[in-house]
Amino acid sequence: MFPITLRPDQMAKELAEFGEKLTHGSRTLAGIGDIEVGACAKEVVYQEDKLTLYRYQPRVKQPHPVPLLIVYALVNRPYMTDLQEDRSLVRGLLDAGLDVYLIDWGYPDAADRFLNLDDYINGYIRRCVDRIRARSAQERINLLGICQGGAFSLCFSALHPERVRNLVTMVTPVDFHTPDNLLSHWVRQIDVDLLVDTLGNVPGELLNWTFLTLKPFRLTGQKYVDLVNILEKEEAARNFLRMEKWIFDSPDQAGEAFREFVKQFFQDNGLVKGTVEIGGRRVDLKDLSMPVFNVYATQDHLVPPASSLAMKSLVGTRDYSEFAFRGGHIGIYVSGRAQKEIPAAVAEWLNARSG
Q: Which residues contact 235 (CB under 8 A, 6 or more apart)?
A: none
Per-residue pLDDT at 355: 63
Give the mean model confidence (pLDDT) for residues 328-353: 92
pLDDT surpassing 80 at residue 2: no
With a cut of 90, say whether residue 142 has pLDDT above it: yes
Q: pLDDT value at position 26? A: 86
CB 104 within 8 A of CB 116: no
Residue range 12-44, pLDDT digits in tens = 988 898 888 888 888 888 888 888 899 999 999
Per-residue pLDDT of 45-55, as tens digits, reads 999 999 999 99
Q: Does residue 71 carry a pLDDT above 70?
A: yes
Q: What pTM does this model have?
A: 0.93
pLDDT of 5 over the 80 cut? no
Given 40, 128, 147, 155, the catalytic residue: 147
pLDDT in tens, 241-284: 999 999 899 999 999 999 999 999 999 999 999 999 999 999 99
Rounded mean pLDDT of the chain? 94
Q: Which pLDDT score is estimated for 226?
A: 86
Quote the CA–CA distance of 72 and 91 in Å, as a whole number. 16
Nearest to 171 by CA among 355, 35, 330: 330
Mean pLDDT of 210-217: 88
Q: In this structure, which long-range contacts are made by residues 132-140, counting pairs with CB atoms below 8 Å and at least 24 apart in sequence?
A: 132/45, 132/53, 132/67, 132/69, 132/101, 133/163, 135/45, 135/55, 135/67, 136/65, 136/66, 136/67, 136/99, 138/65, 138/66, 138/67, 138/165, 139/163, 140/66, 140/164, 140/165, 140/290
pLDDT in tens, 305-337: 999 999 999 999 999 999 999 999 988 988 889
Which H or E run includes 11?
helix 8-32
Question: Is position 128 annotated as part of the catalytic site?
Answer: no
Nearest to 271 by CA among 201, 191, 178: 178
pLDDT the model gives residue 125: 98
pLDDT of residue 217: 85
Euclidean distance between CA atoms 294 and 176, whole angstroms = 16
Amino acid identity, position 239: N
pLDDT value, residue 354: 67
> Rg of the chain over CA atoms, in angstroms?
22
Cβ neighbors of 266 (< 8 A, separation 6 or more) are: 176, 184, 187, 188
What percent of the chain has pLDDT above 70? 99
Domains of the chain: 42-192+254-352 (3.40.50.1820)
Q: Which amino acid is at 255?
A: G
In this predicted structure, what is the pLDDT of residue 164?
A: 98
Alpha helices in 200-334 (DSSP H): 204-212, 216-217, 223-227, 234-247, 255-261, 270-273, 305-309, 331-334
